[in-house]
Structure 1
Amino acid sequence: MNVSRFFITIDFSKMWIHTFLRIFHDRFKELALPLVTLALTQSPLVTALVLLSQQVGTILFSIPIGTWVERRNPVIVSSCGSILTGLFMFGLAYAVSLDQTNAIVISFLLCALGIVSLFHSTAFHIMVPKIVGRQRLLRAHTLLETADAIVTLLGPALGGYLLATYGASATLAICGGILLTASIFLISLRYDYTKPAFRKKEPVKARLRMFATESVEGLIFLFGNSAQRASILALTTLGFSTVFITLTLIFHASNTLEFSEQAIGLLLSSAGLGNIIGVLIMNQFKQSNWLYLLVVLLVLSSLGVMLLLTGSLWLMCFGMILFDGALSMGFVVQIAVHQGITPDSLLARVRSTTYVMGGVVSMLATVSSGLLTELNSLVALGFGSLMLIVPACFLLRYRHAGVRLHELQPLENVITN
């Protein structure tokens, strides 16, 4: 069987398998850590504050890491980042297994985990366009989203079972083992890397100034044209909603509705069914204007959140199908646009800048979820629905920047309107 028929290239198939396993790690961790921390602190707000420590490193170090990674072999950087993340998960599992584990220890480990993950994510991101080619970016990201869909369908339910049966420590240890296994597929990648010339004769100060200048260039490009600004608005909306709704739903189902771990896992797994539906129909929209498509997807996702207010398990499952199905399609469109209009020379720097923004948004979403859920979880879910509708309306301001997805081209001129 020709693997390129499904996975574009052999090397992309390795990236896909790595992504598949890494998302399993993410889904287990996303379910286990909030419940573990909530059990320790007995407060959604304190739990949220602990969880946002993952984003501290993202905000502080994303831009310099992106500039640094751009001059390194991304296969080596991504592989080492993945291996170290797996080892940190074993450390976190050990910490949780101790009776004296507290919120401070978990916060410290999560902060370190976030920094190491940055190296992996940035390097992985810049490999995709070079391995598959720009003309196949939408297909590539649809396939990567398919991995997310399959795991989101199976992962939370399996994670809930593991938590209920074996406990948090064993579940987190399994996360580490999965990630170390995933690293094998990155190490075996064949990637055409050309080492850039190193300016040995330049003074340290001159090199630092050049480093700072190159870092700022990514930020300038990110806001230098309408298409990028619209893409960033979509990215921040999608990122906020993913964190806010998922965390709020866990708090709401656990504290207010008193659902079991298995029921919470079923709810989160329903999102995976929505993901699968989304990726199956994604190719039907490759001729669509990306901006209008994003607007429609955000509105549909908001309608899904409204169903979470019903309190009925099955209606909430359907709401998660609609919410996450539309959201997953939105992520595919946004990342295809983001990479499609960014020149190769700026991919790492621009991506690292978006990590900073994503970190800030994720922190805001985490704190907002904890604070609003502490007051009233139904109000929190209503707020989450509103935060999808408002940006969807605001996106229409950039309608002149929208083109058909297959017409995306790099914008070499960073200051365009």
Structure 2
Amino acid sequence: MKNPKLIHITCAVAILIALFFNFNVTDDAEAGGALLEKELNFTSRVWSNTAHAAASGGGAVSLDFRQVDLRDALSALAVQMGRNIILLGDEPGEISFQAQNLTAREAMELLIQKQGLSYVEQGNTIVVGDPGALDANYYNQMILARFETYYVPAEKIKDLIDELAIPQKNIIVEGNPQVVFVQGTVPALEKVSELINNVDTEENSLSVDFKTLQLYLISPERAVELLAKAGIELEKYVALDNKLLVFDREFFNSWEEIQQLAQNFDSLSAREEKVVTFKLKNVFAATAAEKLKKFNFGGEITPLTSDSSKFSKELLVICPPGLETRVRSAVVDIDQEQEIIKVPILSMGSGAGSNDEEEESSSSSSANVHQSIHSRKLLLSELTGVPVSHLHTSRNLSGDSDSPEYVLWAEETTDNILLLRDMVEEMGWGSE
């Protein structure tokens, strides 16, 4: 009996199919058939690269297939739907099919029905075949898939699959250095496809780098959702059990803060509860979070803070939907205009504004110190957003032009005073 063949549609071919219905299919049985077909059950396969496909098949399409291979027709629909489609059985031959103003899914269902076939669906994968060949346990059966890479060698992909412990039965790399065969269940092959889509980039051609978030109480998908609400939108990642593998290099420099946020998110209350974002006008997030804890919410809400919260005016709070209105009301009460107070920020004496070790004239020394404290005032204003007009320089408090002493003081809210002092400490200025 003729062995079924393994068919793989590359991303480039799939896009051409979607745009022009000009079909090209690579027949990969010869790529390793003599070695593999003794041990592995080949399956005719149409695999759409969903990382580059549309997110849904909701738009209307019109189709006119004339004497085309069923696998090619399904490939075109897979790209339009943003799904993986697997076709079981021997080569189906050519078909003709027309449809007007249907969604891609409706067109697929009609096409399959006309061929006397059926399908089962799980997650992002649709399996098409004879009704007698499909059963609920198909997703637990082992099948073989061929994956092509463009930048990262197959050996690196193999090592990465092993390192990440993606569940599979067999990985084979032979002959073509850009091709890897993986045997496993459909969910496992989906993870392999997802991994390759994320790592097979030009920047990873020399080394594949990634960061790992270990989660305990929420799913990786939930963590991605919550991080996006915090302004951290991950694009290249793979979810494996309770781990989130991140390949977005742009976030590596701020990884400690992302880990801290993820740890805050990783709570029972974050499983089903929502993260509410509050844009503050008068107080900083750290102050608002601290004051919010004093309201009568008990442990039902969780304000999320990080090292940047003392400078940020965006507060994130995890809360049940039923408490959102009360939390919003509490935040409004907290975010009121603050009293303006006058407080010294730093003081400077002679020598602080000059590196010249030689004795200077009294007028020159006084001018140098005054200029130095004025320059720091301008920088503090730029860094904190406090208007320059709210920062003031005193007269020479020493009364001695040979040893002048000036004080920089602010007329501001309590929060801004704390911000200014934190910035002075960060700069290492203190009292000079």
TM-score by length of 2: 0.19
Higher relative helix content: 1
TM-score by length of 1: 0.19
